[in-house]
A and B are shown apart, each in its own frame.
Chain A
Amino acid sequence: MSKKALNRVKKQFKKQLIDTHSQCGDETIIVGRESLHEVVAFLKTDAETSFDMLSDVTAVDWLGVRDDYRFEVVYHFLSLSLRQRMRVKVPLTDADPTIDSISDLYHSANWAEREVFDMYGIRFNGHPDPRRMLLYEEFEGHPLRKDYSILASQPRIDLLDVERPTTNLYQPNYGEYGLAKEVH
């Protein structure tokens, strides 16, 4: 479906691409984490790829299956103008599961990356709001990792004396909203 885009990326990033495939008609590229941001920025802006929407981010845990790496972070891109799709995968090791955030390129990466952190414990460098997404702050572990037992239970947390602090309490900037009033 998007063979042309795949060839374009192949030509542009000969060295950075680890592998590519088109299983079931889904064009996929596998890149190292150091060149992810560069490749994604290209995918977004180039006229032949023009992937303007990041439709999903997730990860796969290959614990006990792959020796050379453990996690794969999987991005799905969609081009609304060219009606094509592409998948980008980035392998990560167990020792250092960190990757650059692409939330500066796509707004949708903000929540999606938070969920991946929540479920797999993969850290996104430069993420503006690195909190858990679906689970609560006191949750121990990351449930979608393969070594998290399906029978595992969580410790009971004490009642909080005070409201759990909202991590990014807002600093009002009234000018931004065109409001006349000023806070003293």
Chain B
Amino acid sequence: MAADVAGILEIDQDLHTEAMLLNMGPSHPATHGTVRFVLTLDGESILKCDTEIGYLHRGFEKMCESSTWTQVFPFTDRLNYVSPLINNFGYAMTVEKLLGLKVPIRTEYIRTILSEMSRMSDYLTCLAAGALELGGFTAFLYAVEGREFLWDLIEEVTGQRMMTNYGRIGGLKDDLTDGFAEKWKALAPHLRYLVDAVHKLLTRNRIFIDRMEGTGIISQAEAISYGFTGPCLRSTGVEYDVRKAFPYHAYDKVDFDLVVGSAGDNYDRYLVRMEEIIQSMRIIDQCLDQMEPGPINCDDPRVLLPPKSSVYNSIEGMINHFKLIFEGIQVPAGEVYGYVEGGNGELGYYIVSNGSGRPWKIKVRPPCFYLMGGMAKMVEGAMLADIIPTFDTINLIGGEIDR
């Protein structure tokens, strides 16, 4: 018997093996259609992961340079298309920073509420897709149901589920609809029930834990060096959230907890997202309590379109309207970097103006671009199957990363 074992070992050592090149994506159901991994495998272990992005590149920055400042809003919807409102408000905030505008307090609250709703829908989509790809179809249905309820409410306010185009420089397209607060109050317990259902299905599920715990690990120092932000950075234990570190909108007026993990693995990223959904609900509740009626647009004629009665009945109103539409808002020359906490982390806009009605340069800092840059580090040395949960918790959004 012992001789047999020795013989097998000897054969094993002589067996000729070589590294295999495997192409995963861009059309692979788990890569969400837009990313390609060129993997060098030894059996099922990943020796090298070469990530190729750019399949959804459509020249966002080039298009912006030939649009007026206002025409950029629909383009920003299509960056992170799961949470477009955050992109809208982030861009509006950056241009306002360069203009030196201050928006009314009610606008700050509405922006906070809708940003948090978008964040929840972003997280729910990420968790749903993640559960689905690990075989948890029921959890997917619960999470997506929650997302649909949120998007119904967003549709009611903005007119669209996804491509909202709701932000405006110096304000918003419209006020919240009547009865928004009541509808949210009716929705919140159901949303809480759905999140709890996902918890019950996944959090202590043996199969789920086996796939998530201890996979896709990244250390704190490496996460920082790779430029990680958002839930992925917080899962390593770094207490950094733009909403807390550099408060904007109305985040300094509400009370919420900073959620951090410790291990930096997929399971921690999942837990951070689950808890942040609860925190987002808290923020919305507080905002609705604190909000008071008031104007939603700043009254600066340099940026605000005049009321229609004035456009049709007075020459000044008509000229003002014409100039704002055709020449665009005149933004003073200069450069500015604005940043908000997006669904995946710090969403930054670097804009340069030459003093005209069109941007000279707009650069978006997509958070998942840097997350994907670090993904090779997270999966190299791990198993092929670990790519799926790691890719899901990174939450790549094609529109945002490829622009």
What CA separation (Å) do A74 and B348 show in the bound complex? Answer: 13
Which of A85, A106, A143, A166 is within 8 Å of B227, CB to CB? Answer: A106
Whether B374 is near chain A, meaning CB under 8 Å from some CB there, is: yes
9-residue interface stretch from A6-14, A55-63, A93-101: A55-63
Interface string of A144-184 (1 = CB under 8 A from B): 10001010000000000000001011101010010101011
Instruction: Tell me, in angstroms, the Cα distance from A24 to B352 when the chains sit together.
Output: 12
B38: which A residues are within 8 A, CB to CB?
A: 166
Question: Given A26-B336, A53-B224, is A107 in contact with B374 using a C-beta cutoff of 8 Å?
Answer: yes
Complex-state Cα separation, A174 to B372, whole angstroms: 24
- Answer yes or no: B173 CB below 8 A from chain A CBs: no
The B-contacting residues of A in range 129-146, CB under 8 angstroms, are 132-136, 143-144
Cβ contacts under 8 Å, A74 to chain B: 350, 363
Interface size of B as a range: 35 or more
Q: Please give me the 8 A-B residue pairs with the lowest Cβ-Cβ distance, nearest first.
A: A108-B227, A134-B54, A170-B48, A111-B373, A58-B363, A56-B365, A107-B225, A170-B40
Partner of B373, one of A60, A110, A172: A110
Contact status of A76 and B370, CB under 8 A, knowing A26-B336, A107-B227, A170-B47: no
CB atoms of A83 and B245 under 8 A apart: yes
| Stretch with Cβ within 8 A of A (4 or more), from B12-20, B78-86, B198-206, B268-276 | B12-20
Residues of A close to B62: CB separation below 8 A:
143-144, 148, 150
Q: Quick check: is B50 within 8 A (CB to CB) of the other chain?
A: yes
In chain B, residues 41-95, which have Cβ atoms closer than 8 Å to a Cβ of chain A?
42, 45, 47-48, 50, 53-54, 57, 59, 61-63, 65-66
Indicate with 1 or 0, residue by residue over B19-41, a CB within 8 angstroms of chain A CB atoms. 10100000000000000001010
For the complex, is A48 an interface residue (Cβ under 8 Å from B)?
no
A53 touching B227, Cβ below 8 Å: yes
Point out the residues of chain A lying under 8 angstroms from B224, CB to CB. 52-53, 80
Q: Which residues of A contact B97 (CB under 8 A)?
A: 24
Of chain A, the residue at the smallest CB distance from B63 is A150
Which residues of A are found within 8 Å of B251, using beta-carbon distances?
Answer: none
Within the complex, the shortest CB–CB distance from A174 to chain B, in Å, comes to: 7
Q: Please, how many angstroms separate the alpha-carbon atoms of A108 and B374 in the complex?
A: 8
Can you list 18 A-B contacts with CB-CB less than 8 angstroms, sorted by A residue number? A58-B350, A65-B354, A80-B240, A83-B246, A108-B374, A110-B373, A111-B372, A134-B53, A134-B57, A134-B402, A169-B40, A172-B19, A172-B42, A177-B45, A177-B47, A177-B380, A179-B42, A181-B17
Interface residue A29 (Cβ < 8 Å from any Cβ of B): no
Partner of B226, one of A107, A134, A172: A107
**Closest A residue, CB atoms, query B382:** A177
Please, how many residues of chain A have a CB less than 8 angstroms from a CB on the other chain?
A: 48
Across the interface, do B348 and A144 meet the contact criterion of CB distance under 8 Å?
no
Q: Which residues in B have their C-beta under 8 angstroms from that of A87? A: 335, 337
Residues of B within 8 A of A24 (CB): 97-98, 100, 334, 336
How far is the CB of B299 from the nearest CB of chain A, in Å? Answer: 22
CB nearest neighbor in A for B18: A183
Q: Is chain A's interface secondary structure helix, strand, loop, or mixed overall? A: loop
Counting CB contacts under 8 A, is B360 at the interface? yes
- Roughly how many angstroms separate A65 CA and B360 CA in the complex, as a whole number? 11
| CB atoms of A108 and B45 under 8 A apart | no
User: How far apart are the CA atoms of A88 and B374 in the complex, in Å?
Assistant: 23
Q: Is A54 an interface residue (CB 8 A)?
A: yes
B369 at the interface (CB under 8 A from A): yes
Closest to A118 in B: B54
Roughly how many angstroms separate A153 CA and B370 CA in the complex, as a whole number? Answer: 29
Please give, as numbers and ranges, the residues of chain B lying within 8 Å of A133 by CB-CB distance: 53-54
**Cβ of B54: which chain A residues have Cβ within 8 Å of it?**
132-136
Q: Distance in Å from the Cβ of A181 to the closest Cβ of chain B?
A: 6
A136 to B402, CA, bound (A): 13
- Cβ A60 vs Cβ B361 within 8 A: yes
Q: In whole Å, how far is A58's beta carbon from the nearest beta carbon of chain B?
A: 4
Instruction: Other than A60-B352, A60-B360, A87-B335, give 7 A-B pairs with Cβ distance below 8 A.
Output: A26-B336, A55-B348, A108-B374, A110-B373, A111-B370, A115-B369, A134-B53
Set of chain B residues within 8 Å of A76, measured between Cβ atoms: 337, 348, 350, 365
A80 and B238 in contact, given A55-B348, A107-B374 (Cβ under 8 angstroms)? yes
* B341 interface residue per 8 A CB criterion: no
Which residue of the partner chain A has the closest CB to B362?
A58
| CA–CA, A23 and B350, complex, Å | 13
Does any Cβ of A come within 8 Å of B346's Cβ?
Answer: yes
Return B366 CB to nearest CB of chain A, in Å.
10
**Contact string, B381-403, partner A, CB cutoff 8 A, digits 1/0?**
10000000000000000000011
Distance of B331 from chain A, by nearest CB (Å): 12
Q: Which of B17, B53, B57, B335 is the one whose CB lies under 8 Å from A23?
A: B335
CB within 8 Å of A: which B210-229 residues: 222, 224-227, 229
Residues A55 and B226 in contact, CB atoms below 8 Å apart: no
Closest to B43 in A: A181
CB-nearest residue of chain B to A62: B360
State A174–B245 Cα separation when bound (angstroms): 43
- Chain B residue nearest to A56 in the complex (CB): B365
CA distance A14 to B382 in the complex (A): 48
Name the A residues within 8 Å of B373 (CB-CB). 107-108, 110-112
